[in-house]
Every structure is written in structure tokens, then in C-alpha cells.
Homo-oligomer: A and B are copies of this chain.
Amino acid sequence: MTLPVKATVFVGISLDGFLARTNHELDFLPPGGGEEHGYAAFIETVDTIVIGRKTYEKSSPFPNGRMARSPWSSSAPGLWTRRGAPGAVVERLAGSPPEVVARLAALGSKHLYVDGGITIQRFLVAGLIQRLIITRVPVLIGSGIPLFGALPHDIALQHVATRQYSSGLVQSEYIVPA
């Protein structure tokens, strides 16, 4: 199946794999998002953000303020979507990940930015993530909200490239083969 919509994960995590502390705090990340590591360029390629409710509540304002400027769309318990276009609205999108993707495709979405631990994990298991861009911060925090979770089967990835930054960030990009 060729999807008309592709979805990318773009996240910063601790070296031990956490998106946030257990209480959702992000204080272990560099202030202001840290050294520029491609977020601004990435976000320009995205027309829709699919994000869990908890991440939504914690993540505005985004480092570059873009999150705050645009409206959102949503549906489904805990699943929120924001369209990037001017005047777009936040909507709650109900349903399973395939249903959400189908709905967004019907609305004209082409490139989803999927964020938030549970949301990322659900989309990965459903085979609906095509690209992972993971930036690791050089700190161990010991516990928190993990990027990855249990899987019904292994998921083999294709490494595209890894970039390292002078502040110690290491960013690896992977494709999830169809």
C-alpha cells in the first residue's frame, strides 16, 4: 500500500531513552531546545502535527513559537492534531491510528509530525511511521516517559545518517521500511 501521507517522528531524548521525566518535566533538555539541530527546517516540511493530549498540554510553546501561532485539530480520546496552515484549527481526532491517518489524508494532509510517547508507540506498531529522527542529549536521567515501548514483533530499521553537534547532541535518522 502506498500511503498518500507520510509520518515522521522528530524527538529529543536522554541517552537512556526518555522523552520526559515521569512528571512530564523536560528540565534535562538544553534550554530553548539547545543547539539548532534541524528542527526549524524539519517543521517547515510538516503540515499536520499528531500529538497526545499530555504532550500537547506540556509542549507549548515550542522552541520556535510555531506551535503557539497555529491552530490545532483533534479527535479521539487523547489524540490531538494541529494543522500547520494559517487559520487551521486544533481538532480532536477519534479512532485508531489508521483511522486518524485516513481522516487526515482525506483532509489533505501530506506529512504528519507524530509526537508524544504513547502516540509514537501506537503509530509505530500500526506501521504508520516512515521516518525517525532521534536526537540524544548526553545525560542519563534513570526514569521517565520512554520513547519506545513494547512491540508485537521486531522492527528492523534502515539507518540514513547520524549527525553530531558540538554541544554533545547526537542525531540519528532512520527509515522504517514498508
Binding site for B on A (CB under 8 A): 15-17, 28, 124, 136, 138-143, 147-159, 161-162, 164, 168-170, 172, 174
Contacts and interface: CB of A to CB of B under 8 A. Distances in A.
Contact of A154 (B142, B154, B168): B142
B15 A157 contact: yes
Contacts of A149: 142
A159 B174 CA distance: 21
A174 B15 contact: yes
A138 B164 contact: no
A159 B139 CA distance: 10
A174 B138 contact: yes
A155 B140 contact: yes
A154 B138 contact: no
23 contacts: A15-B174, A16-B17, A16-B147, A16-B148, A17-B17, A28-B154, A124-B140, A138-B157, A139-B156, A140-B151, A140-B155, A141-B151, A141-B154, A142-B150, A142-B151, A142-B152, A142-B153, A142-B154, A143-B150, A159-B164, A162-B162, A162-B170, A170-B172
Contact of A148 (B142, B148, B164, B170): B142
B158 A138 contact: yes
A115 to B, nearest CB: 17
A138 to B, nearest CB: 4
A161 B136 CA distance: 13
